[in-house]
Structure 1
Amino acid sequence: MAVNEQVYKELIQELSTKQVVLVAVSKTKPVSDIQKLYDLGHRDFGENYVQELLSKQPQLPTDIRWHFIGHLQSNKVKYIAPFVHLIHGVDSLNLLKEINKQAAKHNRIINCLLQVHIAQEETKFGLDSDELEAILNNVGDFQNICIKGLMGMASFTEDVNKVRNEFAVLKRLFDLHTQQQAPNIQFSILSMGMSGDYKIAVEEGSTMVRIGSLLFGARQYNS
């Protein structure tokens, strides 16, 4: 399935009225699909894998805002540091240190979101509330990163109340730390919500959603 233009236009209309940014999750999708959405005016695209992002980025327009939304290993930061717009899944102080180091090499400030573990699933990455606070208290010397907010993923479940409660926990943490402004801590983005739960996320205060299958259809993996 290629890009669903009608769904895209409806999503943009729905989200823009609420001032929510749509990140089109383009992982496993061909460059042609990304280009088609770009031609419709879209600029924010999300990728999960460094190698795939490195393959696509040179083939597409330079004004695309690339979001890295997967689990990022420290030894891969150097590859995306020259151009990445926003790193969503920062879950350790060591990873932030490496992002800061690589950003300095390119004379850039890289925007980051801290990933908080809100789902009751062991497979999800992320910080707990104490780890989150510890990181925010220890990044004062990092001059080449800016922490723009939080990211989280709810449990994969049909229990709407559970999903809503998990998003509400993240929103409370976001509101708590919004007061903690500093030169490199500027909370303005709460990234939560995907194709299956974005409506609940927006109701609970999300300012950025990551949507793939609604736009592009099911993911295509090589066998």
Structure 2
Amino acid sequence: MIRDNVAALLRELPPGVALVAAAKSRTPAEVLEAIEAGVRLIGENYVQEAAAAFAVVGRRAAWHFIGHLQKNKAKKAVELFDLIETVDSAALAAEIDKRSREQGKIMPVFIEINSGREPQKAGVPPEAAETLVREVAALANIRVEGLMTMGPETGEPEDSRPYFRLTQGLFESLKALGIPGVSLTWLSMGMSHSYLVAVEEGANMVRLGTKIFGPR
């Protein structure tokens, strides 16, 4: 099933749109099957869960952290992950920078945008994004490479469109500023129910779990 799902998605997604397999609560065997089917990017929400999968899979895929990262987990996250998609504060960025420096790494990151301005959700409000990007760009061992958003959980994919459109507009306006140390390349938005709308609105990276692995 996983193999067929991945094959269908790789056919369906336009050229240039990267597929992240969102592997929260999936077994290392399932993650391995997705990789064997052609997935190149694995997204994990929890550092511990990622470590278990990494022990089986290793560097056969690139690893993206897509959950809420606590500062006390930053050291392990920097060890394991190739990219952290969820930087939403200067304090977290500083911790990632410190741990990256200790490990001799430059860590690519995305800035997470709270496009729905939901108080209970992670992410920086759109109006504060430029300030945060400039603060993160000043750190030597972090490189800002994109933006990521979840958007509010909506029943209908179409309901996500305004939030994706807002984030895409922010992406373009930040890119136009030409901030030194920032290479905005990736716009990560859209999950299993909303990825087609996200792609229509400019996403070039989508994070899909159910669509690859089936229901949890």
| TM bracket (short chain) | over 0.9
Secondary structure of 1:138's aligned partner: helix
Partner of 1:12: 10
Structure 1: 5+ residue stretches without partners? none
Identical residues among aligned pairs (%): 34
Question: How big is the shift at 1:184?
Answer: 2.5
Tell me if the contact between 2:94 and 2:139 (Cα under 8 Å) persists in the aligned partners: yes
Superposition pairs for residues 37-116 of structure 1, below 5 Å? 37-116=34-113
Superposition pairs for residues 162-201 of structure 1, below 5 Å? 162-201=159-198
Secondary structure of 1:22's aligned partner: strand
Question: How big is the shift at 1:120?
Answer: 5.5
Question: How big is the shift at 1:92?
Answer: 0.2
Please identify, of 162-171 and 194-203, the stretch whose mean Cα deviation from structure 2 is larger. Answer: 162-171
| TM-score of the two chains, using structure 1 as the length reference | 0.91
Structure 2: 5+ residue stretches without partners? none
Partner of 2:121: 124
Please identify, of 184-193 and 40-49, the stretch whose mean Cα deviation from structure 2 is larger. Answer: 40-49
Partner of residue 143 from structure 2, selected from 143, 146, 150: 146
Question: How big is the shift at 1:121?
Answer: 4.0
Q: What are the Cα deviations for residues 165-202 of structure 1, in whole angstroms up to 9, with x where unaligned?
A: 11100000000001233453110000000000000000
- Alignment size in residue pairs: 216
**Aligned partners of 1:121, 1:186: CA distance in 2, in Å?**
27
Question: How big is the shift at 1:118?
Answer: 1.1
Please identify, of 77-86 and 67-76, the stretch whose mean Cα deviation from structure 2 is larger. Answer: 77-86
| TM-score of the two chains, using structure 2 as the length reference | 0.94
Question: How big is the shift at 1:55?
Answer: 1.9
Secondary structure of 1:34's aligned partner: helix
RMSD of Structure 2 on Structure 1 (CA): 1.6
**Aligned partners of 1:137, 1:183: CA distance in 2, in Å?**
9
Whose relative contact order is higher, 1 or 2, with alpha carbons under 8 Å and at least 6 apart?
1
